[in-house]
Amino acid sequence: MPTLDVTEVLTDPLFAETLIVQRRSITMLDNGRQQLNTTTFNPIGVVTSEASADLVRRDAGEYRPHQIRVHTKFRLRGPSPDYQPDVVVWNGDPHVIVQLHDYSHFGAGYISALCESMSGTDQPPV
């Protein structure tokens, strides 16, 4: 087991910020339809820009999805039974988790998540 604890940076005010995480659970209703329930959390974490993905070509046009990488001690959730992937709202834009890495064996443990923007256009930097 690695002994280097890198998680101290995840709460350092020079790097970390308060995040908005929306956990989306699915409930089956009596009529057979699904209901989406959202719970909001505000964990501390570090957000970095991810290298842009390849250009996506569609009939309606071309775009390059905006991606971010989130590192946090908070147990983010990807797709699983009864849950849709968590959404991280960063800079006013919702980003859905598309890839999740569990590094709980490094020191106190942390999660690294690749998130892709759910919006066609993102807010300009502040």
DSSP category for residue 102? E
**Is-contact 68 50, C-beta < 8 A?**
yes
- Please give the order of strands across the beta sheet that includes 44-49: 17-18, 44-49, 67-72, 110-117, 93-103, 83-90, 20-28, 34-41
Q: 7-117, what's its fold?
A: Thrombin, subunit H (2.40.10)
**pLDDT tens-digit profile, the chain (126 residues):** 556 667 788 888 898 999 999 999 999 889 989 899 999 999 999 999 887 667 777 787 776 678 899 999 999 999 888 899 999 999 889 999 999 999 988 777 899 999 998 876 666 666
> Rounded to 5 degrees, what are φ and ψ at 65?
-60, 140
Domain residue ranges of the chain, discontinuous segments joined by +: 7-117
Global pTM reads 0.82
